[in-house]
A = this chain, B = another copy of it.
Amino acid sequence: MAGLRAKHKAERADRILAQAMALFHEASFDAVRMEDIAAAAEVSTGTVYNYFATKGDVLLALVSLEVEEVLELGAAVVAAPPEGLAEALDALIGGYYEHSLTYLTKDLWRQAIALTIGAPGTRFSLIYAGLDDRLRAQVADLLIACRGQLRPGLALAPLADMIFGSLNQAFTDFVRVEEMEMASLLTAMRARHAALAQALA
């Protein structure tokens, strides 16, 4: 049966993740050693590697948590978007951004993004890319949901790709600069959405 053994296993994985999260909030990703995580979770270093193939995979598990919740939030917006393209984009994308620091720090996002780019083809990168694609699809869905308010005959798919590319890059720029405030990110994006909505109306 899958009883105690599996339960212990799940508990151990949870404990490792929880401790890793705590340590990553106290110090930077780089400053936390696998040995530290193991010690905090009261297991041996080897055991951590039994659950997570690399330090990056520990991070990925934390990122997934965050992104799954962001996707849920986004689905709600797409299902009932506010009036007006600019407002709808503000709601969706602002929602992404505002939730993004619930569990993770800017440093953790930086390391996650750097890993996806620097190590493509790894488990980490593939899963991360999958999450990204689901976000991209949500943006496209929102445009489609709002198409009644747009000039007819527009090529929505390339526009959605452009919007997603731009929001993704803006987020990367945001986490890259430790001092940048969430408010200024939101303001900048609102300006973009307003300009775009004006052009597409």
Interface residues of A (CB under 8 A from B): 110-111, 113-121, 125, 129, 151, 154-155, 157-159, 161-170, 172-173, 175-178, 188, 191-192, 194-196, 198-200
User: Residues of B contacting A155 with CB < 8 Å?
Assistant: 191, 194-195, 198
B114 touches A178 (CB 8 A): no
Q: What's the nearest-Cβ distance from chain B to residue A198, in Å?
A: 7
User: Residues of B contacting A115 with CB < 8 Å?
Assistant: 114, 118
How many copies of this chain does one complex carry? 2
User: Residues of B contacting A177 with CB < 8 Å?
Assistant: 120
Q: What's the nearest-Cβ distance from chain B to residue A201, in Å?
A: 9
Residue of B nearest to A177 (CB): B120
A117 touches B117 (CB 8 A): yes
User: Residues of B contacting A159 with CB < 8 Å?
Assistant: 192, 195-196, 199
Given the complex of chains A and B, what is the CA–CA distance between A113 and B173 in angstroms?
12
A176 touches B114 (CB 8 A): no
Please give me the 4 A-B residue pairs with the lowest Cβ-Cβ distance, nearest first: A114-B118, A165-B169, A165-B166, A158-B191
